[in-house]
A and B are shown apart, each in its own frame.
Chain A
Amino acid sequence: MNIFVLLKKTFDTEEKISVSNGQIEDDGAEFIINPYDEYAVEEAIVQRDAHGGEVTVVTIGDEDSEKQLRTALAMGADKAVLINTEDDLDEGDQFTTAKILEAFFEDKEPDLILAGNVAIDEASGQVGPRLAELLGIPYVTTITSLKIDGEKVNIEKDVEGDVEVIETSLPVLVTCQQGLNDPRYPSLPGIMKAKKKPLEELEIDDLDLDEDELEPKTKTTDIFLPPEKEAGRVLEGEIEEQVQELVSLLKNEAKVL
C-alpha cells in the first residue's frame, strides 16, 4: 500500500510564544510535529505493518523542517519529502499548501493519505479536504478508527462526541483525531536508522509551479494573543441588589445586553 502522511511543523504551544507587530516571534520558539499529525504518522505505520507497502511523510516548510521529518522517520516512516518554500514564497495559506501538494501528488499513486485533523497553530483543518477535492478522491475528517480490508475502508468518525460509522474505498484521504491511536516514541535504534533513510528536498520549481499560481487567497490582517484573564468578581449583598448590580454590569460594563 502506498501511504502518505501530510505533516506540519508547529510552535510548541506549551512553550512561551510571543507576538510582535502581528507576527509570531520565531526566535527562541520551540517547534514540534503538529500533535494531530503524530496520530497520522502512527496510523500510517500501523497500516503499513498490517498491509505492507511504504510510508512517505511530506511537509512544506523550510530547512529546519528536516528535524520533524527525521522524527517521523525515527518513529518508523520509510521516506520523507521536504518541499522547501523558504526562498520562493513570502506567504501562503491553505490554498497555497493544497495547490503545492496537488502538484506533488500528480505523479504519485497514493492509496491512503493521512493528515492531522487540524494544526494547533492556525487550526483551519482545510488542507486535507482541499487536497482530496483537488485529487478527486473521497475524504473523511476527524477519524477515530480506520480498518482496511482490500479496497474496502471502514472508518469511525468523531462527530462532536458522537461516532459516525462510514464505509468508503481506497484511495482515500483521512484526517486524524485524538483517540485514533497512541503515537509511539521514536526508539533509539529508530533514531539511529533515521539518518540513513531517504529525505528528498524539492522546491516549487521542481513541481513546475511558480509563485503567481500560489498566491494566497486570504490575507492575515493581525495576529494577537488573547487578553489575559482578569480575576472574577463576587457580588455581595441581598439577592435583589445583586441581580440589579449584575444586570447593570452586563449592560454598562460588559455591554452584552
Chain B
Amino acid sequence: MNFELTKEQAMIKKMVRDFAEEVIRPRAIEIDTKAEFPKDIFDQLGELGLMGIPFPGEYGGSGGDTLSYALAVEEIGRVCGSTGLSYAAAVSLGASPIYYFGTEEQKKEFLTPLAEGKALGAFGLTEPNAGSDAGGTKTTAVEDGDDYVINGEKCFITNASFAKTVIVTAVTGKNEKGKNIISAIIVPTDCEGIKITSNYDKMGVRGSDTAEIVLTNVRVPKKNLLGDPEKGFKQFLHTLDGGRISIAALGLGIAQGSLDKALTYAKERKQFGKPVSSFQAIQFKLADMSMEVELARNMVHKAAWLKDNHKPFSKEAAYAKLYATETAFRSANQAIQIHGGYGYMREYEVERYLRDAKLLEIGEGTSEVQRLVIARQLGC
C-alpha cells in the first residue's frame, strides 16, 4: 500500500490549485451571478494542457493518469463548481469516448483538438424521456448512402453551445430480439439542421453551459459512427463509469471548499467573546465534515487508481460518486449553518456550494441510480 501521490501528481495538484486560486476564484461569484460560461478560462486550461490530462501525447494529450485528472477536477471544483463541471464533462464525456472507442482516424481528427484544448466536446445522451433509461432513446439515425440522417431532440447537454463536436446517441436499428440498437455518432456542431439553444435558468452550476439540441435531418458520414455498432450502448457504460470518477472528484472539491470556508469563518467569527470554533456544537460539525471529506477523497483516489491499473472499477466509481457528491451537499449545508445568516448571502459563497452540489446528486446518474449500480454489482 502506498497513499502518497507521485511527484508529478503532487506537482499537477499544486499547479491547478495555484491557477484556480489566482485565476478562477476571483471570478467565481460573477460566473454564478451572470450565468456566463467562462470561455477564456477554458482557453487557459487548454494552454496548460489540462484539457488533455488522461490522453497520450500522440493525440494532443498530456499523458497523465486518471488520478492526476481527478486531482485537477477537485482543485477546480474547490473554487468554482461551474468551471469544474464543464471541465469534467469536456474531458470525461466529450473527449474520452473518442479515445476509448474511436478509430485511429477519428482520434486524429476529433480527439486531438479537444485534448489540445483548442475545442470543447459534449456528450448528447439525455433526452426529454431518456437518461439513465437509455432504452427510451427516441433520436434516430437512418442510413442513407454514405451518410446517417439523424433526427431527434437532446436536453441538458453540458457544454453543447460551445462544443465543436457532440457525440449523439441514437437508435440505428433493431436486433434479432426486436430491441432497439443504440449507437453513438460524432456530430460536428456546424452541421446543417442542428440547433443548439441554452435557455435553462438553473439552480446551480449556473456558469456551466447546459443546452438543448434539436437535430433535423442532420447528415453525417457513416465513418463518424463511434465504436462497435453491434455492441451498441453497452460500451458507453464504460464512459459513464469513468465520468462518475470525475463527478465524484468535483463533489470532493466542493466538499473541501465548503470545509475550508467553514473552518476559516469559525475561527474568525466571535460570539460570547470567543471564536465560534471553540464551541463543541461547531467543532462536531467541522470534525464530521473533515472526516467525510477525507473518506470521500480515499474513495475517489481508489476508484481512479483501479482504473489506472486496468482493474474493474464500476462499483468503486459508483461508491465514489454517490458518497462524494452526498458529502458535498452535506458539507455545503453545514458550512452555511456554521456561517449562520451570513452563509445565506451570496458574498460568503457557501450558499453557491450548496446549489452547485445539488446538481452532482442528479447529473451523470442520480444517487438512486448509483445505488442501483452498486446493488447490481452485489448480484441483486
Contacts and interface: CB of A to CB of B under 8 A. Distances in A.
A237 B11 CA distance: 59
A67 interface: yes
A124 interface: no
B49 A195 contact: no
A184 to B, nearest CB: 9
B7 A188 contact: no
25 contacts: A66-B7, A70-B7, A70-B11, A74-B15, A185-B15, A185-B18, A185-B48, A187-B47, A187-B48, A187-B62, A188-B12, A188-B48, A188-B49, A188-B52, A188-B64, A189-B49, A189-B62, A190-B49, A191-B15, A192-B8, A192-B62, A192-B64, A194-B8, A194-B11, A195-B7
A228 B213 CA distance: 59
B10 A188 contact: no
A189 B117 CA distance: 13
Interface string B7-40: 1101110110011000000000000000000000
Given A185-B15, A185-B19, A67 B10 contact: yes
Interface of A: 66-67, 70-71, 74, 185-192, 194-195
A74 B57 contact: no
A74 B47 contact: no
A185 B16 CA distance: 9
B185 interface: no
B63 to A, nearest CB: 5
A57 to B, nearest CB: 15
B181 to A, nearest CB: 38
B67 to A, nearest CB: 13
A62 to B, nearest CB: 15
Interface of B: 7-8, 10-12, 14-15, 18-19, 47-50, 52-53, 57, 62-64
B18 A188 contact: no
A192 B63 CA distance: 7
Contacts of B19: 185
Nearest to B51: A188
Nearest to B53: A188
Nearest to B8: A191
A190 B49 CA distance: 9
A186 B11 contact: yes
Nearest to A195: B8
Nearest to A70: B7
Contacts of A195: 7-8
B290 to A, nearest CB: 16
Specify which of A71, A188, A194 lies most central, judged by the most chain B CB atoms within 10 Å of its CB.
A188
Contacts of A191: 8, 11-12, 15, 62
Chain B contact surface mostly: helix
A186 B8 CA distance: 11
Contacts, number: 46
Contacts of B52: 188
Contacts of A66: 7
B351 to A, nearest CB: 26
B73 to A, nearest CB: 14
Contacts of B50: 188
Nearest to A184: B48
Contact of A71 (B11, B57, B62, B64): B11
Contacts of B18: 185
Contacts of A74: 11, 15
Nearest to A190: B49
Contacts of B62: 187-189, 191-192
A188 B60 CA distance: 11
B233 to A, nearest CB: 32
A46 to B, nearest CB: 17
Given A187-B48, A188-B52, A189-B62, 17 more contacts: A66-B7, A71-B11, A74-B11, A74-B15, A185-B19, A185-B48, A187-B49, A188-B50, A188-B53, A188-B64, A189-B63, A191-B8, A191-B15, A191-B62, A192-B64, A194-B8, A194-B11
Nearest to B57: A189
A231 to B, nearest CB: 12
A188 B52 CA distance: 9
Contacts of A67: 7, 10-11
A217 B47 CA distance: 47
A186 B75 CA distance: 16
B375 to A, nearest CB: 38
Contacts of A190: 49
Specify which of A70, A185, A187 lies most central, judged by the most chain B CB atoms within 10 Å of its CB.
A185
A74 B68 CA distance: 15
Nearest 5 pairs of A and B residues by beta carbon: A188-B49, A188-B62, A187-B49, A187-B48, A189-B49
A119 B202 CA distance: 48
Contacts of A186: 11, 15
Nearest to A75: B15
A67 B12 CA distance: 12
Nearest to A192: B63
Contacts of A70: 7, 11
Contacts of A188: 12, 48-50, 52-53, 62, 64
Contacts of B47: 187
Contacts of B49: 187-190
Nearest to B45: A188
A84 B57 CA distance: 34
Contacts of A194: 8, 11
Contacts of B7: 66-67, 70, 195
